[in-house]
């Protein structure tokens, strides 16, 4: 549909103003992080850092222990994502391609766990983690969140389209079930695995509630936990805090820029946050 010039101008104006509102907050954080401490708190605020400095970034790593938190977050995010892809694709495969007793009950069970968000069970989860000896260990934020109903459901829907003949043929050739999963199903599922991987990366990297419940030892803090802890401190060191925020956003920004189109399609098929 061709747009009238006037409509076009109106749309562009509204969009530009809105886009500015969406861009400026993050830009302001980035600019502020590059200021010296004197400039950071100077009044009236300087719009541009003069001189430009990376002192807050180095301070975050040297004094703020940020390297450790960054490492912890990386370990948690990567291992949880790999685990998620593995076990969710396994379950999705079973539910899509086998007829077995209880399969529909299992599927309904999986989906209905969507209704129980961690917010609702955070108190007993703490007890379960303690009873298993997992409290205050990285495993507590790697393993439990790796099983997501969203992931199982997406995998199942995707694998339903795989023809049964393909599996039958492989069985005739003597392939075992695991081999079928590993060398036929996984390669076929690559596109949906990619979508899930991106989402899992974001969920785990950004997560706050799981680490908050499961971790008390500062040496095991993830970035989000460390940041929230710094805010609570008596005197907030905004310089380091802003620098850490900027660094924390970079991996997500990269993932976002590289996989933008997957995000959009993944969002539309999943439509939820896990």
Stretch that binds other proteins, among 49-57, 158-166, 186-194, 202-210 (CB under 8 A): 202-210
CB of 79 to other proteins, least distance (A): 14
**Site for other proteins, residues 69 to 128, rule: CB under 8 A:** 86-88, 90-91, 93-95, 98, 100, 103, 106, 109-111, 113-117, 119-128
Whichever of 52 and 116 has its CB closer to other proteins, that residue is: 116
172: number of Cβ within 10 Å: 8
Asked whether position 182 contacts other proteins by CB under 8 A, the answer is no
- The single residue among 57, 66, 70, 205 that binds other proteins, judged by CB under 8 A, is 205
What are the helix (H) ranges across the chain? 5-33, 37-40, 55-62, 66-97, 103-112, 118-131, 139-142, 149-159, 164-172, 177-180, 186-188, 190-206, 209-214, 223-232, 238-270
Q: From 13-21, 48-56, 57-65, 158-166, give the range in contact with other proteins by CB under 8 A.
A: 13-21
Q: Which of residues 214-273 bind other proteins (CB under 8 A)?
A: 224, 227-228, 231-232, 238, 241-242, 245, 248-249, 252-253, 255-256, 260, 263-264, 267-273
Nearer to other proteins (CB atom), residue 75 or residue 111: 111
Q: Which is nearer to other proteins, 62 or 265 (CB)?
A: 265
Please report the sign of the dihedral spanned by the C-alpha atoms of residue 228, residue 230, residue 233, residue 236: negative
Cα–Cα distance between 94 and 193 in angstroms, integer?
Answer: 16
142 touches 83 (CB < 8 A): yes
Tell me the window of 48-56, 59-67, 174-182, 186-194 that interacts with other proteins (CB under 8 A).
Answer: 174-182
Nearer to other proteins, 63 or 127 (CB): 127
* Token representation of residue 117: 């968000």
Query: Which long-range contacts link 164-167 to residues 24+ away (Cβ below 8 Å)?
Result: 164/97, 167/97
- Pick one of 67, 133, 176, 218: the residue that binds other proteins (CB under 8 A): 176
Peptide bond just before 125 cis, omega within 30 deg:
no
Q: Which stretch binds other proteins (CB under 8 A): 51-59, 74-82, 139-147, 158-166?
A: 139-147
Quick check: 162 and 89 in contact, CB under 8 A? Answer: no
* Residues numbered 27-46 forming contacts with other proteins, rule: CB under 8 A: 28-29, 32, 41, 43-45
**Smallest distance, other proteins to C-beta of residue 250, A:** 11
Nearer to other proteins, 123 or 161 (CB): 123
Select the residue interacting with other proteins from 143, 166, 184, 188 (CB under 8 A): 143
- Cβ contacts of residue 262 below 8 Å, gap of 6+? 194, 195, 198
For 75, other C-beta atoms within 10 Å of its C-beta total: 15
């Amino acid at each position: 549909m061709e747009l009238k010039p006037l409509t076009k101008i109106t749309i562009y104006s509204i969009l530009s103003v809105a886009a500015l509102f969406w861009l400026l907050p993050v830009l302001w954080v980035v600019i502020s992080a590059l200021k010296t401490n004197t400039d950071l708190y100077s009044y009236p605020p300087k719009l541009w850092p003069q001189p430009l400095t990376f002192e807050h970034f180095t301070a975050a790593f040297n004094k703020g222990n940020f390297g450790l938190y960054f490492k912890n977050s990386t370990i948690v995010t990567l291992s949880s994502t790999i685990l998620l892809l593995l076990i969710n694709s396994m379950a999705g495969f079973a539910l899509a391609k086998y007829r077995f007793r209880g399969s529909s009950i299992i599927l309904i069970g999986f989906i209905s766990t969507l209704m129980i968000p961690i917010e609702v069970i955070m108190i007993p989860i703490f007890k379960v983690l303690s009873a298993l000896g997992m409290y205050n260990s990285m495993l507590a934020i790697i393993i439990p969140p790796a099983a997501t109903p969203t992931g199982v459901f997406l995998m199942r829907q995707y694998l339903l389209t795989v023809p049964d003949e393909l599996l039958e043929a492989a069985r005739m050739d003597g392939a075992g079930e695991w081999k079928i999963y590993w060398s036929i199903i996984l390669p076929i599922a690559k596109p949906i695995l990619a979508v899930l991987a991106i989402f899992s990366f974001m969920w785990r990297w950004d997560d706050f509630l799981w680490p908050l419940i499961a971790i008390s030892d500062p040496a095991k803090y993830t970035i989000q936990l460390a940041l929230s802890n710094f805010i609570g401190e008596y005197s907030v060191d905004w310089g380091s805090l802003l620098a850490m925020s900027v660094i924390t956003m970079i991996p997500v920004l990269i993932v976002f820029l590289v996989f933008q189109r997957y995000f959009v399609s993944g969002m539309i098929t999943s439509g939820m946050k896990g």
